[in-house]
Amino acid sequence: MPDETMKALLYDRYGEPEVLHTADCPMPEPGPHDVTVRVLAATVGIGDCKARAGLLRPFFSLKLPKIPGRYGVGEVAAVGAAVTAPKVGDAVVLATPHTGGGSSAEYVRVSAASTAPAPRTVSDVETASLIQGAVCAYVCLVEAGALAAGHNLLVHGAAGAVGSACVELAHHLGAVVTGCCRETDREHVRALGADHVVAFDREDFAARVRDQDVVVDLVGGEVHRRSYGVLRRGGRLVYLHAAPIEEKGGEHGVVVINAVIDDRGAILDAVCRLAERGAFAPRLAKLLPLAEGALAHRLVESGAVRHGRVVLRVA
């Protein structure tokens, strides 16, 4: 490890993006089952913004000061005594726990089990632009949805970061995909691989769609309530980051699943291998230096950046 301190983006109180600033922090040393990663690029997600604003305090507690950043890409700099893989020098993708130190820093300590070999055919910045949406899509479709070739899938919020990854992955898996989005996003969602597109600001998805095997609901509320009617009996209604819902699976004969996103390296590995096969296209909307972390958060939470991700270039 070259120095005893590192540069990190952090906040020591909840608030607007302006609470973020860079500072010198102690270099993280790995525990027995951990690795320390030299971060090259860090994803900026809406969850990072919500945590910084204090909106996630009902769900978990953060120790301040907090370094944000759920996902990142980098190179292993040190390994714990019990770690056999990855090794020093390996290029990895990593996921940090919500309550720990994040990826928006020159170095981060994570469990070795929360890393995977980075895609060989995708750059570090491109990987950072796709990893979060791809992980969420994999959990929603493969783990929770049990989606298979020939299945009918409806994705609500199909133009967003997670929804677009769901469309891409479902297309790769051979499903028949219907994407629900605004009219202005119609061609974008079709280009992602959707077989059918429903513009919710012009037409009623419940009147257009029937006999779906899986519905992915990234909206909740009224959209969730009306999605039961478009599923076949035995179908799966998977929700993630949705507004409060009323569970009516038994009434409609469908399975309702709250997709839980965790830090397992097996999921990161599956997603990275899919990225190597072209299942997910990198969509970098804005690349900013670590020192402009406040701007990155502002762009993400304001919705100013569409059809792509904001990434911090760390090294």
pLDDT for the residue numbered 285: 94
pLDDT score, position 242: 67
Tell me what the mean pLDDT of segment 130-158 comes to: 97
pLDDT at 1 over 80: no
Return the pLDDT at 58: 87
**Which residue pairs from 184-189 have beta carbons closer than 8 angstroms and sit at least 24 positions apart in sequence?**
185/158, 185/159, 185/307, 188/159, 188/164, 188/307, 189/158, 189/159, 189/164
Assess whether pLDDT exceeds 80 at residue 2. no
Q: Which of 49-63, 70-84, 176-190 has the lowest mean pLDDT?
A: 49-63
pTM for this prediction: 0.94
Q: What is the mean pLDDT of the chain?
A: 95
Mean pLDDT of 237-259: 90
The architecture that CATH gives domain 133-258 is Alpha-Beta Complex (3.90)
Note whether 256 and 228 are within 8 A (CB).
no
Q: What is the pLDDT of residues 260-314, one digit of tens each?
A: 998 899 999 999 999 999 999 999 999 999 999 999 999 999 988 888 899 999 9
Tokens of 7: 């540069």
Residue at token pair 């309702």: 256
pLDDT at position 3: 56
C-alpha dist (Å) from residue 117 to 45, 48, 110, 225: 21, 24, 14, 40
Half-sphere exposure of 276 toward its Cβ, with a 13 Å CA cutoff? 11
Q: Which residues contact 179 (CB under 8 A, 6 or more apart)?
A: 154, 155, 158, 159, 163, 167, 189, 190, 192, 194, 196, 197, 198
**Ramachandran area for residue 278 (φ above 0: left; ψ -120 to 50: alpha; else beta):** left
| CA atoms of 169 and 239, how far apart (whole Å) | 17
Contact 185, 202 (CB under 8 A): no
Could you tell me the end-to-end alpha-carbon distance of the chain, in angstroms, rounded to an integer?
Answer: 15
Separation of alpha carbons 122 and 249, rounded Å: 40
Percentage of the residues of the chain whose pLDDT score is greater than 90: 91
Fold match, 5-123+282-313 / 133-258: yes
Q: Where are the domains of the chain?
A: 5-123+282-313, 133-258
- 3-state SS, residue 286: strand
Q: Kindly report the CATH number that applies to the domain delimited by 5-123+282-313.
A: 3.90.180.10
Average of per-residue pLDDT across 247-251: 94
What's the pLDDT at 195? 98
Is the backbone of residue 211 left (phi > 0), alpha (psi -120 to 50) or beta? left
Mean pLDDT of 214-237: 96
Q: How far is CA 286 from CA 45, 92, 150, in A?
A: 13, 22, 36
Residue 129: the pLDDT is: 97
